Structure 1
Amino acid sequence: MTFLGSRLRHLLELLDGDVARVYADLGLPDIRPRFAPVVRTLARQGPSTIRDLAVAIGVTHSAASQTVAEMARQDLVRLEPGADARQRIVHLTDRAARLMPTIEAEMAATVAAAEAFDAELPYPLSRLVEEAIAALERRPMHERIGAVVVEGPSGRG
């Protein structure tokens, strides 16, 4: 468990890095793997607030906001003011709409590759990740660390 965060970040770098290479191979070096869920969600649901996008794709508001800002720089989305001055509505651009067939094909290939990858492992990574998220939602890491600090490593204070 030592350096768990570092190992998880490295795993994510390996996975995302190779998906990004696929986009580069397709002639789209400016497309990032994290853009695909946003594009697909907007194509399916239509214009959305950043908060609604975050919920739909399962990331924090901050992460969604950063991704949307980068996508706006790449002319994949445009932002318009919402009913509330603090709210911004995210719309797909024509460029993103033109890229939808490529993004959908890449996503289908990635899902198939991820399923094959899961099958190679003694315990499917996708299931382990879901179980880890559920465990941390039940008892956050902050609480777990605090218990060790207060009670000692054995949990008995």
Structure 2
Amino acid sequence: MDFYQAAGKMALGSRLRKLSDTVTEDALKIYGLYNVKLEPRWFPVFYMLAEKERLAVTEIAQEIGQTHASVSQIVKEMKKQDLVMETKDAKDGRKTMLSLSEKGKAMVPNLKQQVTDVQQAVEDLFREMQYDLWKAMEETEFLLGQQNLFERVKNKMKARESEQVIIQAYEPEHQTRFRDLNVEWIEHYFKLEKKDLESLNDPKGYILDKGGHILVAAYKGEIMGVCALLKMDNETYELAKMAVSPAAQGKSIGWLLGKACIEKAKALGAKKLFLESNTKLVPAINLYHKLGFKKIVGKPSPYERSNIQMELVLD
């Protein structure tokens, strides 16, 4: 069975490399056909210098979309073959400019003939195709520029793993986990305060008996995240004590808990959700913004660590 048929789109990189290897192998023969002694990967740098005569490495890198280090290595190899020369910029003596040497310039006429013939041959190839490969490559590069393949795969992984997360109501046996998860993150960034201990040591008396609710997130049977709704008045609840185990980061547990708490608050007839946090917790603040919370200026906080208050008006 053909590997690429079996592996499918998972083998995108391998298949592109295979195609690249095939084209590169032919390119070496084509350079020989025109007596142009260039390595195929030198072509973008050589072509830019042939067209614009004098350029800095940084300028070439920007033009051809390669790294400064990659272009520098190519230039180093080309210098060994006496194809390029370096001079100081007349306006800025600290800036090194590159240009083709006499040997390099002597190759330009043959290269231009090669470019013309290759262009026509490739256009013929594309006309034989059902799909426009060039446009597809341009579109692929654009879309990967919007979101690279790593991020796309990571999002799929998060989506798959988040399907295994179950949000459920707090039970008395969850009290230790509720406390431990919160203590873990608070002590990692700040210090545990008296106000924390009131709710963490007695969630039933401090939260539940006062009309509040606690939700927990189970992943593969283990409680990995918690969040509480503290009743402030008949129309307002505070989103508080959200904590997710570091071992479960990247599984959208915070997002799922936040959404579940919002839906729970709506079901309770709440008109607003309030929360307090610290701008040091950038991922948390980003999550709250994503959930729809807006910064407000409220009453003084009972928490020393709090430096931002946010509110969500419920539909």
| TMscore range, shorter length | 0.7 to 0.9
Query: Aligned partners of 1:154, 1:57: CA distance in 2, in Å?
Result: 40
Residue 45 of structure 1 corresponds to 52
Task: Tell me, yes or no, if structure 1 residue 69 matches structure 2 residue 76.
Answer: yes
Give the whole-Å Cα distance in 1 for the aligned partners of 2:74 and 2:162: 41
Aligned match of 2:124: 116
User: In the superposition, relative to structure 1, how do residues 59 and 111 fare at CA in structure 2: closer, same or farther (>3 Å)?
Assistant: farther
The alpha carbon displacement at 1:92 in A equals: 0.8
In structure 2, the CA distance between the partners of 1:155 and 1:142, relative to structure 1 (3 Å rule), is: farther
- Residue 58 of structure 1: CA displacement? 3.0
Pick from 53, 63, 67 the counterpart of residue 60 of structure 1.
67
CA distance in 1, matches of 2:162, 2:10: 17
> In the TM superposition, what is the alpha-carbon distance from 1:136 to its structure 2 partner?
0.3
Which structure's CA Rg is the greater one? 2
Asked whether the 8 Å contact 2:57–2:71 carries over to 1, the reply is yes
1: distance between equivalents of 2:76 and 2:119? 26
Aligned to 1:8: 16
Q: Which is further off, 141-150 or 34-43?
A: 34-43
Per-residue deviation, 1:60: 2.8
Give the direction of change, closer, same or farther, for the CA distance of 1:60–1:115 in structure 2 (3 Å limit): farther
Query: Which residue identity lines up with residue 57 of structure 2 in the other structure?
Result: I
Moved more, 54-63 or 76-85: 76-85
Q: 1:113 to 1:143 in 2, by over 3 A?
A: same
1:50 counterpart letter in structure 2: V
Shift in Å at residue 70 of structure 1?
1.7
Report matched runs for 1:1-157 at 5 Å: 1-28=9-36, 30-80=37-87, 83=92, 88-152=96-160
Distance 2:93 2:28 in 1: 35
SS at match of 2:82: coil
Structure 1 counterpart SS, 2:130: coil
Q: Secondary structure at the match of 1:90?
A: strand
Moved more, 52-61 or 12-21: 52-61
Aligned-partner Cα distance in 2 for 1:128–1:155: 33
In 2, Cα distance between equivalents of 1:81 and 1:17: 37
Gaps of 5+ in 2: 1-8, 165-250, 252-315
- 1:36·1:103 contact (CA, 8 Å) conserved in 2? no
| Structure 1, gaps ≥5 residues long | none
1:27 Cα shift? 3.4
Identity across matched positions, percent: 27
Query: 2:34, 2:111 within 8 Å by CA — same for their partners in 1?
Result: no
- The alpha carbon displacement at 1:153 in A equals 7.7
Q: Which amino acid aligns with 2:144?
A: L
Q: 2:18, 2:111 → 1: CA distance?
A: 24
Q: Deviations over 1:11-65 (max 9, x none)?
A: 111112211111123334x412233332232122221111111222233323322
How high is the TM-score relative to the length of structure 1? 0.85
- What value does the CA root-mean-square deviation take over the aligned residues? 2.4
Query: 8 Å contact 1:36–1:107 — kept in the other structure?
Result: no
Q: Residues 22 and 148 of structure 1: is their aligned pair in 2 closer, same or farther, counting only changes over 3 Å?
A: same
Pairs aligned (count): 155
TM-score w.r.t. the length of structure 2 is 0.45
